[in-house]
């Protein structure tokens, strides 16, 4: 039987889709080269650039974040080029694996998945590369697997200080629209994003923000490419998308931008995420008493405001807990790759409010009791207390 009541989706992406966006995407088909659609499209492109906080370039593809990862690599690099991948979790590891499969030489800067990057190690790696063999540094702004952020301005400063010309490529798939990100101010060269997280849209398109410096590097990229070729895209009216444009998603994006920029305001969106994230962390920190589940991220200044990864006590299976909570119609995120069974994730990004979060936390706490997982009871109350104290 399908459980009664509303589905509580607490996966860190895709995310909940607001009703008004669902209505907007159920738009009848129109000519994607016709004037009505082009007006919507151009406004969306300008809006998305504002959310990225860039006045530079933007290319879009029908595909998920993986597509944008690949597009970014093949447009900026050449076979045999070396990149430095800051490995902080499952997604950074996989971006590196993709690059290696494409024939890029991958130098990995390993980081402790629970503590994050040692920035001094980054400084040292850049200083050691006196011949500037490293053509790009790949950084996942918000590691969705571990619930930890990277300090992108600090990485920019490391490159500048070392006078290293490598491009700075950022994955902002689970940070855009939920954690502060500033493309131009932070000196990012390429930023990879997708529709289905902070933008609250269905899965379907992804994109790369590109700096002028990166556009110059694109001119000498020797990777074979067709669907992802930015130069070809520039010859098209939409300056993106080789082929049919995903029309419905743009009606959705227009509505998403209205919600983010006009109705709530981007700064308020970010503040809402920070508050709900802190409530989640207070809940988990409370559970951690009695040898209970604890925050996976051990660096308080690096915790993510879009997802919290929770480490189960030794001998207790995160997947069994997730399944139990699932019977209450609550979807928690799974532990990825080496964290599977050890970690579960609470997504708190996108279209979310206090009662939705509290429903998830309370159901998880019921699950902890039913599964016999040790914990200090009352984590949900710690979240309630924080939300009451900080009510706008
Ligand atoms: C940080 C990050 N990078 C990349 C991806 C991959 O994106 P997609 O699943 O849209 O291909 C994800 C997906 O969750 C992600 O969170």
Q: Is the CB of 174 under 6 A from ligand 1?
A: yes
Give the tens place of pLDDT for each residue, 52-82: 999 999 999 999 999 999 999 999 999 999 9
Q: Residue 1 — pLDDT band, cuts 50, 70, 90?
A: confident
What is d(CA 373, CA 128) in angstroms, rounded to the nearest whole number?
Answer: 47
pLDDT at residue number 3: 79
Give the tens place of pLDDT for each residue, 91-121: 999 999 999 999 999 999 999 999 999 999 9
Mean pLDDT (the chain) is 97
Atom of ligand 1 nearest to the CA of 145: 16
Give the tens place of pLDDT for each residue, 32-57: 999 999 999 999 999 999 999 999 99
Q: Give the residue, out of 91, 202, 205, 306, with the most ligand 1 atoms within 8 A of its beta carbon, to mutate for a pocket test.
A: 91
Give the tens place of pLDDT for each residue, 155-196: 999 999 999 999 999 999 999 999 999 999 999 999 999 999
Residue 2 has pLDDT above 90, yes or no: no
> Which CATH number is 8-15+266-389's, of 3.90.1140.10, 3.90.1150.10, 3.20.20.70, 3.40.50.620?
3.90.1150.10
Q: Give the residue, out of 13, 192, 309, with the most ligand 1 atoms within 8 A of its beta carbon, to mutate for a pocket test.
A: 13
For residue 310 the two structure tokens come to 């929770």
Cα 350 to averaged position of ligand 1 atoms, centre (Å): 15
Q: Is the CB of 140 under 6 A from ligand 1?
A: yes
- For residues 54 and 183, the answer to whether their CB atoms sit within 8 Å is yes
Q: Is the CB of 64 under 6 A from ligand 1?
A: yes
This prediction's pTM: 0.98
For the domain made up of 19-261, the CATH class stated in words is alpha beta
Ligand 1, atom 16: closest residue by C-alpha: 144
Q: Is the CB of 171 under 6 A from ligand 1?
A: yes
Cα 384 to averaged position of ligand 1 atoms, centre (Å): 31
Mean pLDDT, residues 307-321 taken together: 98
Q: Residue 4 — pLDDT band, cuts 50, 70, 90?
A: confident
Sorted by where each begins, the domain ranges of the chain are: 8-15+266-389, 19-261
Cα 15 to averaged position of ligand 1 atoms, centre (Å): 12
Q: Is the CB of 13 under 6 A from ligand 1?
A: yes
């Amino acid at each position: 039987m399908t459980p009664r009541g509303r589905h509580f989706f607490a996966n860190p992406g895709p995310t909940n889709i607001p009703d008004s966006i669902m209505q907007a995407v159920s738009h009848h088909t129109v000519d994607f080269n016709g004037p009505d659609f082009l007006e919507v499209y151009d406004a969306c492109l300008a809006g998305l650039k504002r959310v990225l906080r860039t006045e530079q370039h933007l290319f879009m593809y029908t595909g998920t974040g993986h597509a944008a990862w690949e597009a970014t690599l093949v447009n900026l690099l050449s076979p045999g080029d070396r990149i430095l991948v800051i490995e902080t979790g499952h997604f950074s590891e996989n971006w590196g694996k993709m690059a290696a499969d494409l024939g890029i030489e991958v130098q990995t800067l390993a980081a402790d998945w629970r503590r994050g990057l040692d920035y001094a190690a980054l400084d040292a790696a850049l200083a050691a590369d006196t011949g500037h063999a490293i053509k790009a540094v790949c950084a996942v702004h918000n590691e969705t697997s571990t619930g930890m952020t990277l300090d992108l301005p600090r990485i920019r400063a490391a490159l500048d200080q070392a006078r290293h010309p490598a491009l700075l490529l950022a994955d902002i798939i689970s940070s855009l629209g939920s954690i502060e990100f500033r493309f131009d101010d932070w000196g990012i060269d390429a930023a990879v994003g997708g529709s289905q997280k902070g933008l609250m849209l269905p899965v379907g398109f992804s994109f790369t923000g590109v700096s002028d410096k990166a556009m110059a590097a694109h001119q000498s990229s020797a990777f074979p490419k067709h669907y992802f070729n930015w130069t070809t895209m520039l010859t098209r009216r939409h300056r993106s998308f080789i082929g049919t444009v995903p029309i419905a998603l743009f009606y959705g994006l227009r509505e998403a931008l209205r919600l983010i920029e006009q109705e709530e305001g981007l700064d308020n969106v970010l503040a809402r995420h920070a508050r709900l994230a802190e409530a989640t962390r207070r809940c988990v920190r409370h559970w951690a008493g009695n040898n209970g589940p604890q925050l996976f991220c051990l660096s308080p200044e690096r915790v993510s405001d879009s997802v919290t990864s929770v480490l189960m006590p030794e001998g207790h299976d995160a997947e069994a807990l997730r399944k139990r909570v699932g019977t209450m119609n609550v979807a928690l995120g799974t532990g990825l790759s080496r964290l599977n069974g050890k970690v579960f994730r609470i997504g708190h990004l996108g279209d979310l409010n206090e009662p939705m979060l509290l429903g998830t936390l309370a159901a998880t706490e019921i699950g902890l009791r039913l599964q016999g997982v040790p914990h200090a009871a009352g984590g949900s109350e710690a979240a309630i207390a924080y939300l009451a104290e900080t009510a706008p």
